[in-house]
């Protein structure tokens, strides 16, 4: 199993506390909510960054975590790898070019593993709907405490809706002051149609001043967790 290193920035105290709040809310969703899909409306909302930090936070609590980068079109997570990239990724496994052991990588954080997206295929949606994807998810359920799937934005492609039926719950990340209310409703409606429960919404890039506090900067702004 290859070991890779991922970018890690020291989080301000306030941001770290918000991350712990998000982690706690997930833990209290119940023991049956272990395979989670994270999506957003558009790209650039900070979804992959929040997902990565969430996985690290769960691993630091002693949970074994697998982060799957299912964005086989335009991965953000791959850009956060600061060591040599693995030869194989999700697209290679789903297309039958390698085994599962060849795509799961250890990270520098104990108990935190990842599967990167792999080469860009001509048919990502079909691969995500394949039997190999179902086998992957079955394996993950048996071998990890939590499986977090970083998916493409549902406002742009149908891929998240294809993966959702294999998951226990959905987290939707929304960038504050950028995503219109009607569009947010459409995103929620698309994911509700999958019959996978929406566990909550993460409101990202919220101005600290709006809440009467100065939180510093985290990738330009901060995020808060809101759960229904």
The answer, yes or no, to whether residue 199 has pLDDT greater than 50, is yes
pLDDT confidence of residue 225: 41
> What is the CATH classification number for the domain harbouring 197?
3.40.50.300
- Tally of domains in the chain: 1
Q: Is residue 140 part of a domain?
A: yes
* Per-residue pLDDT tens digits for 158-198: 999 999 999 999 999 988 777 788 888 999 999 999 999 99
Is 26 inside any structural domain?
A: no
Say if 225 falls within a structural domain: no
| 24 within domain boundaries | no
Q: Shortest CA distance to 110 belongs to which of 60, 47, 42?
A: 60
Average pLDDT over residues 49-55: 93
Residue 209, pLDDT score: 55
pLDDT above 70: percentage of residues in the chain: 90
Convert the pLDDT of each residue in 116-167 to its tens digit.
999 999 999 999 999 999 999 999 999 999 999 999 998 889 999 999 999 9
Q: In the prediction, which pLDDT does 221 show?
A: 36
Q: 3-state DSSP: the chain helix, strand, coil percent, rounded to 5? A: 35, 20, 40
Q: Is residue 228 part of a domain?
A: no
User: Residue 207: its pLDDT value, please?
Assistant: 64
Range of the domain at 195: 31-205
Q: Looking at residues 58-72, what average pLDDT do you find? A: 96
Regarding predicted confidence, which is higher, 133 or 209? 133
Query: Using only C-alpha atoms, what is the Rg of the chain?
Result: 17
Please state which of the ranges 45-49, 111-115, 124-128, 148-152 shows the lowest mean pLDDT.
Answer: 45-49
- Decide if pLDDT at 213 tops 80: no
- Answer whether residue 174 is part of any domain: yes
The residues pairing with 37 across neighbouring beta strands, listed in sequence order, are: 149, 170
Report if residue 215 sits inside a domain. Answer: no
Question: Is residue 171 in some structural domain?
Answer: yes
What are the helix (H) ranges across the chain?
13-27, 47-60, 90-94, 124-128, 131-143, 159-163, 181-192
* H/E segment holding residue 224: strand 222-226
């Amino acid at each position: 199993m290859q070991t890779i290193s991922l970018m890690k920035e020291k989080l301000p105290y306030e941001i770290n506390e918000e991350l712990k709040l998000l982690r706690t809310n997930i833990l209290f969703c119940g023991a049956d909510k272990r395979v989670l899909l994270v999506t957003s409306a558009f790209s650039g909302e900070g979804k992959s960054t929040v997902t990565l930090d969430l996985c690290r936070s769960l691993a630091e609590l002693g949970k074994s975590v697998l982060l799957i980068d299912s964005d086989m079109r335009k991965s953000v997570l791959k850009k956060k790898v600061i060591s040599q990239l693995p030869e194989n990724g999700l697209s290679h496994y789903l297309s039958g070019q390698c085994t599962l052991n060849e795509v799961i990588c250890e990270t520098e954080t104990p108990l935190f593993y990842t599967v990167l997206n792999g080469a860009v295929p001509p048919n990502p949606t079909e691969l995500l709907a394949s039997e190999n994807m179902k086998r992957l998810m079955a394996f993950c359920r048996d071998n990890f405490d939590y499986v977090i799937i970083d998916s493409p934005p549902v406002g742009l492609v149908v891929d998240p809706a294809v993966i959702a039926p294999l998951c226990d719950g959905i987290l939707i990340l929304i960038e504050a002051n950028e995503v219109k209310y009607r569009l947010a409703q459409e995103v929620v409606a698309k994911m509700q149609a999958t019959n996978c429960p929406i566990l909550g919404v993460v409101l990202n890039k919220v101005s600290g001043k709006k809440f009467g506090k100065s939180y510093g900067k985290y990738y330009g702004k901060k995020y808060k967790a809101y759960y229904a």
